[in-house]
Amino acid sequence: MTSNHGNLETVGGRQPDGGRRSFIRKAGAALSVVAASAAAGFSRTSAPNEGSDQLDLLKRRVGNLEDAENVRRLHRAYESSLDRGRYEEVVSLFADDAEVVYGGSLFRGSEEVQRLYCNQFAAGRTGKKIEPAPGFEPDPSDLEPVVEVAADRRTASGRFPFSMQVGEPMAGDSSLVALARLHGEGIVRRWERGSCTLSCVKTDAGWKIRRLEYHTTLKADYRPGHVRV
Amino acid sequence: MMNIPMHRFKYTRLSKDQVTQKLAATAAGPKSASPLSGALAGKSLKIVTDGGPVLNYTFKSANRLTLAEGSASAVEAAYGALELQQMVFFSHMVPGTLKGFNVFVDLKSQLVTVFEVWFAGGKDPSGQELDDREVQRQIWFGYVDVAGKKAPEKRHHFTNRLEGTGMYWKQDTGIETIDLYPSIVSSNFIEVTRHADDLSYCSPSDYILVNDNLVIYDRTECEFSGTMTLYLIDLFTETQVGMRLGFNEKDELEYYMYRGKGKVVGQLTSLAPFDEHGKSVNLTMGGAPAKGAKSAPAGPPPKGQRTVYRPGRTFKNMTPEEVQRAAEKSTVTFTGDPNAPQQQAGMMGGHLLPFSELLIGKKFTLRYDNEGPGWEYEVLDIYNLQWRKEGTGSWQKETYRAFEADEKLVFFGHIVTGSNPVACRRIALDLTNGLTTAILSQMGTEYYGNEVSYRAVFGAAEMAGINAPRYVRHCFTDELVGRGFTRTYSDQMTSMHLYTTAHSSSWTIYTANQTLGMQWCAPAIYVKLRDGVYIFNLVEEACNGAETCIIENEKTRRAIGFGFSGGERGVSFGLIGAISRDLGGYDIQHYLDLKAKGV
């Protein structure tokens, strides 16, 4: 993603990041900005070649926006499946050679990614998206996702804020725990907040996650009474 | 009268063929000591259930019916019926099969609740093999279809209205039970007349509301005989009509209907939200998915599904040698940094008391009655002491922990280093009068190696400044019988503990919204130390074999003490600390005295 980008375009009025990447914020706003600037460009130019270049540029920009939206959709699908405990669906969103960094461990390849979500997340009921812990509400600016699409439109990356309920099965062979687990509990819960970075790759089956990494910035005790369902 | 406790009784693993043979006797219909009802004789009922069978009944007489399930051919069977208020309850098995139907018909509303029952259930949804003798059940809600009349919209439904209630019952058979309903999916029962011991047991149960005073209840003695008890309660008149189906400890078929007269004996306070009415049972059945398991399929749960705790099958029993070898590898005492005990005490010790300094520097001799042990102790500091058998020369050093469970009443415990099997002592020592009780425990029972055995010994201390009595002693007590308390061990774990008899106790887990859910039970002892201060000692027999030995202080509503357990990971001697809430209780002790058993 870093060495084979070629030319990159700035979309949405933001400055390029070191001249190599374009960041896309909210798709709707970005689209309208693109459309406005394209119209302005046409009204200002007169040479025939310039018109053709502008059209190419516009096509690339629209393509970038579509890709960015698809990456956001991919992330939404990931969060939604995680939230609903559909861990098999989560795994299907990853590329075969994907990597996940979670809890300080690296899970590499389909088998290990499957193990992380279908065994560890499932056992701990991890992944329930919840409101930020009371008293630990994030700065609104931290909540904005950021997506970057490479100029060749084969790869993309994104950073998405997360706030989720993390559960770990209670340890020990106490009958209290055994009974609690029979009705789906026996889990020690906590809140975690931070950002999730994604590296994505466009495949024949659409965009897939190649690398996912959680950066936890906050952990807090769980208080069931404060959860808004 | 059964004098081997149910949790120790080895019920025969009856085969499907044996069950089939024994069920042949049901062709005559259920027996009944009370006259059966003829209310249905000559009538026909078409019962339509939601998502279940359509049952076309024709009642040829007071004890013969024909049943056609859906469009299938009709079969003839013997049945019995009993009436209670506007309800008719009838029961029959289906000849040539292992199944039967128990039907509650509400003549006023035309609503019907059907308990389809069967034997030889195969495997439960989690893959657990079920005993063929265990009665399975599926509850169908429906109505009597009347030609030309619109189907009613309402149904009988699950309820939490009985959660916390307890009742004493006497059947027309003379059998007496105390049935406690502290959960929405389980219940406690005490066989007052059938069992020699006053022990309580837990069974998966269902509670169905007919109206404000009529509730249908069932329990199945899973892990034991597999027998089902099913009855309709009228809370207005404290009467019941019921049915019992299964094979007793002699493997004899029990299939009878009965009437009973009862009494509400008390109520435990529910901590569930006020807008929780229990119309659906919102448990995640089966717990967290097994390794590699896929998400639960959408749709209704599998037929017959119920949440059952089966500790006898899930816990690994070890030999004494295996436990000793595990103990040699790891015997964990008071885990973690002693300066941060609360943090390290984990789930069961989030509410410990501070360690007591009351014994530091003290020297004393503890003598226990009836040729019990005599030990000399010297307490070196807040974590260390040494002891020796009275009159012997060498001291043995131990790490200990002590709590002040009540004013100048110290509860301390330590493991006995070098013991084989691994042993420990928990000693209550009253520094105001010198009375002492020790709970002496060790790994292993006659049943398996990782089950703790224990005994209580009573005595007095000889120490400076104390003149201990010669006759007065702490003693066993029944003062707590019927009482229910929460125990919050940590913010992640609260359970409800019900002191069901003077010799047993049950524990129940709260669901996420503080409705009471799964429960289990075990024999226990209770020792009175002072007014409102008791030792409670319980071993999870025929389960994980772990021991809880705590002092309960009713005044401070604190439970403090020690846990002792062994398994493949080794032996653990840990700390327990909990805060509690008093939930009320049941007035039942008078049903349990010796007279009640005709002694």
- Shortest Cα–Cα distance, A139 to chain B (Å): 29
Question: For residue A76, what pLDDT is reported?
Answer: 93
User: What Å distances lie between residue B152 and A81, B30, B143, B213, CA to CA?
Assistant: 39, 31, 7, 21
What confidence tens digit (pLDDT) does each residue in A139-150 have?
Answer: 777 678 889 999
Question: For residue B366, what pLDDT is reported?
Answer: 98
Question: For residue A119, what pLDDT is reported?
Answer: 87
Residue B287 clears pLDDT 50, i.e. is over it: no
Question: For residue A70, what pLDDT is reported?
Answer: 94
User: What Å distances lie between residue A137 and A193, A218, B64, B413, CA to CA?
Assistant: 9, 10, 70, 45
Measured between beta carbons, the chain A residues lying within 8 angstroms of B519 are 179
Structure tokens at A120: 């560890």
What confidence tens digit (pLDDT) does each residue in B480-491 have?
Answer: 999 999 999 887
Closest to B287 (Cβ–Cβ): which among A171, A176, A184? Answer: A184
Task: Specify the number of domains making up chain B.
Answer: 2
Distance CA A63, CA A53 (A): 15
- Shortest Cα–Cα distance, B46 to chain A (Å): 36
Q: Are residues B205 and B136 in the same domain?
A: yes
Question: For residue A131, what pLDDT is reported?
Answer: 65
State the CATH number of the domain containing residue B36: 2.40.128.30
Measured between beta carbons, the chain B residues lying within 8 angstroms of A181 are 287-288
Q: Which three-class secondary structure state does DSSP give residue B173?
A: coil
pLDDT tier, B598 (very low <50, low <70, confident <90, very high otherwise): low
The DSSP line for B205-267 is: EEEEESSSSEEEEEEE-TTTT--EEEEEEETTTTEEEEEEEEE-TT--EEEEEEEEEEEEEEE
**Going by C-beta distance under 8 Å and a sequence separation of 6 or more, which residues neighbour residue B230?**
B102, B115, B216, B217, B218, B242, B243, B244, B245
What confidence tens digit (pLDDT) does each residue in A88-124 have?
Answer: 999 999 999 999 998 778 999 999 999 999 988 887 7
| B284 within some domain | no
What confidence tens digit (pLDDT) does each residue in B74-126 have?
Answer: 999 999 999 999 999 999 999 999 999 999 999 999 999 999 999 999 988 77
How distant is the alpha carbon of residue B217 from its chain centre?
A: 16
Share of chain B above pLDDT 90, in %: 83
Closest to A123 (Cβ–Cβ): which among B288, B347, B567? Answer: B288
- Shortest Cα–Cα distance, A177 to chain B (Å): 8
| B469 within some domain | yes
In 3D space, the residue among B118, B114, B116 whose CA is nearest the CA of residue B99 turns out to be: B118
Q: Is B280 part of the contact surface with chain A (CB cutoff 8 Å)?
A: no
| Nearest chain B alpha carbon to A179 | B518
Question: For residue B417, what pLDDT is reported?
Answer: 92
**Which of B287 and A179 is assigned the larger pLDDT?**
A179
How many alpha carbons lie under 13 Å from residue A157 in its C-beta half-sphere?
15
Question: For residue A19, what pLDDT is reported?
Answer: 32
Question: For residue B440, what pLDDT is reported?
Answer: 98
State the Rg of chain B over Cα: 27
Given its phi and psi angles, is residue B306 left (phi above 0), alpha (psi -120 to 50 degrees) or beta? beta
Given its phi and psi angles, is residue A71 left (phi above 0), alpha (psi -120 to 50 degrees) or beta? alpha
The DSSP line for B14-28 is: --HHHHHHHHGGGGG
Q: Are residues B246 and B363 in the same domain?
A: no
| Nearest chain A alpha carbon to B494 | A176
Q: Considering only residues 304 to 343 of chain B, which have any Cβ-Cβ distance to chain A shorter than 8 Å?
A: 307-309, 311, 314-315
Note whether A175 contacts B311, CB cutoff 8 Å. Answer: yes
pLDDT tier, B285 (very low <50, low <70, confident <90, very high otherwise): very low
Closest to A224 (Cβ–Cβ): which among B314, B512, B518? Answer: B512
- Find out whether B222 and B310 touch, Cβ atoms under 8 Å: yes
Question: For residue A162, what pLDDT is reported?
Answer: 84
| Nearest chain B alpha carbon to A81 | B295
Percent composition of chain B: helix, strand, coil (DSSP 3-state, to 5) = 5, 50, 45
Interface test with A, best of B492, B513, B515, B565 (most A CBs within 10 A): B492
pLDDT tier, B540 (very low <50, low <70, confident <90, very high otherwise): very high
In 3D space, the residue among A188, A158, A165 whose CA is nearest the CA of residue A83 turns out to be: A165
Share of chain A above pLDDT 90, in %: 32
Burial class (CB in 10 A: 0-12, 13-18, 19+), B402: buried
Question: For residue B596, what pLDDT is reported?
Answer: 61
Note whether A170 contacts B493, CB cutoff 8 Å. Answer: yes
SS (HEC) of B318-361: CCHHHHHHHHHHCEEECCCCCCCHHHHCHHHHCCCCCCCCCCCC
Fold of A46-220: Nuclear Transport Factor 2; Chain: A, (3.10.450)
Closest to B512 (Cβ–Cβ): which among A170, A175, A185? Answer: A185
Q: What is the mean pLDDT of chain A?
A: 73
Measured between beta carbons, the chain A residues lying within 8 angstroms of B544 are 173-175, 178
| B446 within some domain | yes
**Going by C-beta distance under 8 Å and a sequence separation of 6 or more, which residues neighbour residue B125?**
B285, B286, B301, B302, B305
φ, ψ at A62 (rounded to 5°): -65, -40
Distance CA B400, CA B334 (A): 8
Q: Are residues B262 and B334 in the same domain?
A: no
- Shortest Cα–Cα distance, B251 to chain A (Å): 29
Beta-carbon contacts below 8 Å between A and B: 103
SS (HEC) of B89-105: EEEEECCCCCEEEEEEE
Q: Considering only residues 288 to 307 of chain B, which have any Cβ-Cβ distance to chain A shorter than 8 Å?
A: 288-289, 291-295, 307
Q: Which three-class secondary structure state does DSSP give residue A141?
A: helix
Question: For residue B335, what pLDDT is reported?
Answer: 58
Q: Are residues B128 and B261 in the same domain?
A: yes
In 3D space, the residue among B221, B237, B67 whose CA is nearest the CA of residue B167 turns out to be: B237
Residue A31 clears pLDDT 60, i.e. is over it: no
In 3D space, the residue among B148, B175, B305, B154 whose CA is nearest the CA of residue B229 turns out to be: B175
DSSP code of residue B422: -
Domain ranges of chain A: 46-220
Q: What is the mean pLDDT of chain B?
A: 92
In 3D space, the residue among B162, B190, B186 whose CA is nearest the CA of residue B176 turns out to be: B190
> β-strand B165-171 against B176-181: which pairing, if any?
antiparallel
| Nearest chain B alpha carbon to A223 | B491
| Nearest chain A alpha carbon to B295 | A86
Note whether A181 contacts B492, CB cutoff 8 Å. Answer: no
Question: For residue A9, what pLDDT is reported?
Answer: 33
- Shortest Cα–Cα distance, A209 to chain B (Å): 21
- Find out whether A170 and A190 touch, Cβ atoms under 8 Å: no
The DSSP line for A50-80 is: HHHHHHHHHHHHHHHHHHHHHHHHHHHHHHH
Interface test with A, best of B185, B275, B486, B518 (most A CBs within 10 A): B518
| B292 within some domain | no
Q: What does pTM read for this prediction?
A: 0.81
pLDDT tier, A178 (very low <50, low <70, confident <90, very high otherwise): confident
Burial class (CB in 10 A: 0-12, 13-18, 19+), B377: buried
Residue B460 clears pLDDT 70, i.e. is over it: yes
pLDDT tier, A164 (very low <50, low <70, confident <90, very high otherwise): confident
What confidence tens digit (pLDDT) does each residue in B37-73 have?
Answer: 999 999 999 999 999 999 999 999 999 999 999 999 9
Residue A75 clears pLDDT 90, i.e. is over it: yes
User: What Å distances lie between residue A152 and A25, A148, A197, CA to CA?
Assistant: 19, 12, 20
Note whether A182 contacts B347, CB cutoff 8 Å. Answer: no
Note whether B285 contacts A183, CB cutoff 8 Å. Answer: yes
φ, ψ at B128 (rounded to 5°): -70, 130
Closest to A183 (Cβ–Cβ): which among B283, B311, B491? Answer: B283
Q: Considering only residues 486 to 505 of chain B, which have any Cβ-Cβ distance to chain A shorter than 8 Å?
A: 489, 491-493, 495
- Shortest Cα–Cα distance, B414 to chain A (Å): 21
Burial B234-267 (b: 16+ CB within 10 A, else e): bbeebbbbbbbbbbebeeebbbbbbbbebeebbb
Closest to A188 (Cβ–Cβ): which among B492, B520, B567? Answer: B492
Which range has the worst mean pLDDT, B183-197, B223-237, B297-311? B297-311
**Which of B295 and B434 is assigned the larger pLDDT?**
B434
Question: For residue A61, what pLDDT is reported?
Answer: 86
Tell me which residue has tokens 């060790």.
B442
Q: Are residues B248 and B355 in the same domain?
A: no
Residue A215 clears pLDDT 90, i.e. is over it: no
Q: Are residues B151 and B65 in the same domain?
A: yes
Question: For residue A8, what pLDDT is reported?
Answer: 31
| B72 within some domain | yes
Tell me which residue has tokens 């994604």.
A198
Note whether A174 contacts B289, CB cutoff 8 Å. Answer: no
Domain that holds residue B193: 3-269+306-311
Interval B246-274 mean pLDDT: 97
Residue A228 clears pLDDT 50, i.e. is over it: no
Note whether B544 contacts A173, CB cutoff 8 Å. Answer: yes
- Shortest Cα–Cα distance, A193 to chain B (Å): 20
- Find out whether B103 and B112 touch, Cβ atoms under 8 Å: yes
Query: Of B311, B345, B367, which residue is a domain's last?
Result: B311
Share of chain B above pLDDT 70, in %: 94
| B290 within some domain | no
Chain A residue set in contact with B, beta carbons under 8 Å: 85-88, 118-119, 122-125, 169-189, 221, 224
Question: For residue B311, what pLDDT is reported?
Answer: 87
Note whether B291 contacts A119, CB cutoff 8 Å. Answer: yes
Structure tokens at B406: 């009540």
Q: Are residues B239 and B361 in the same domain?
A: no
**Going by C-beta distance under 8 Å and a sequence separation of 6 or more, which residues neighbour residue B593?**
none
Query: Of B311, B331, B362, which residue is a domain's last?
Result: B311
Distance CA A171, CA B294 (A): 23
| B477 within some domain | yes
Helix (H) or strand (E) holding A92: helix A87-92
